């Protein structure tokens, strides 16, 4: 198994998406996605500026701590997927966002599945987890499609845009991922 430190920036290919490291020239597309109020409502705790995006892209966190993929379809950036690696515990927090004009096309599930698979293999993870506002039904469905069991509902857990919000947590253990991966390969083979 490779060491997490050996896992440098990489590209992943799915049937429709290229998942690649971000580039500075992605700033306009990233800002457009995250400044859309419907995307930002669930994806970011407050407003962002184009300068925030430029700074983030110019100084990304180390890949072995936070592999962050741009999701590209047909040459156009349509969203992102990130793993926030907790090295000591060998777990990762999965996050994703897709531009509103690409909702309903299955991109979050496709991209997240590839990145979760990458995370388990490249970082020898014991678990991947994610969280969402339970009112974000589309995101909850992505987690379910990834085979992630619901682990907890934390009531009135965070404040987003001045409102107390719940958080629902989903997690996928390594052995569950192996079983899920085998079942997907059986169905497609």
CATH at 107: 3.40.630.30
Per the structure, the complete domain to which residue 120 belongs is given by 4-126
Question: 149, 139, 143, 142: which is closest to 175 by C-alpha?
Answer: 149
172 within some domain:
no
Say how far apart CA 112 and CA 30 lie, in whole Å.
Answer: 18
Q: What is the pLDDT of residue 63?
A: 96
150 within some domain:
no
Strands 127-132 vs 91-98: parallel, antiparallel or unpaired:
parallel
**Quick check: 37 pLDDT over 80?**
yes
145 within some domain:
no
Domain count, the chain: 1
Mean pLDDT of 31-47: 83
174 within some domain:
no
Mean pLDDT of 29-52: 86
**Quick check: 2 pLDDT over 50?**
no
36 within some domain:
yes
79 within some domain:
yes
Mean pLDDT of 67-76: 97
Q: What is the pLDDT of residue 7?
A: 64
Say how far apart CA 19 and CA 156 lie, in whole Å.
Answer: 34
176 within some domain:
no
56 within some domain:
yes
């Amino acid at each position: 198994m490779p060491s997490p430190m050996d896992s440098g920036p990489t590209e992943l290919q799915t049937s429709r998406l290229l998942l690649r490291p971000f580039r500075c020239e992605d700033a306009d597309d990233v800002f457009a996605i995250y400044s859309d109020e419907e995307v930002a409502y669930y994806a970011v705790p407050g407003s962002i500026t184009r300068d925030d995006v430029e700074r983030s892209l110019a100084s990304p966190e180390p890949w072995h701590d936070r592999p962050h993929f741009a999701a590209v379809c047909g040459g156009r950036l349509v969203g992102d997927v990130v793993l926030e690696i907790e090295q000591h515990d060998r777990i990762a927090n999965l996050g994703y966002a897709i531009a509103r004009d690409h909702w309903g096309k299955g991109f979050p599930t496709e991209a997240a599945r590839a990145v979760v698979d990458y995370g388990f293999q490249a970082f020898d993870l014991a678990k991947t987890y994610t969280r969402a506002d339970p009112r974000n039904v589309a995101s909850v469905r992505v987690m379910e499609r990834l085979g992630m069991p619901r682990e907890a509902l934390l009531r009135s857990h965070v404040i987003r845009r001045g409102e107390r919000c719940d958080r629902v947590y989903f997690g996928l253990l390594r052995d569950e991922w192996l079983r899920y991966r085998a079942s997907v390969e059986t169905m497609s083979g």
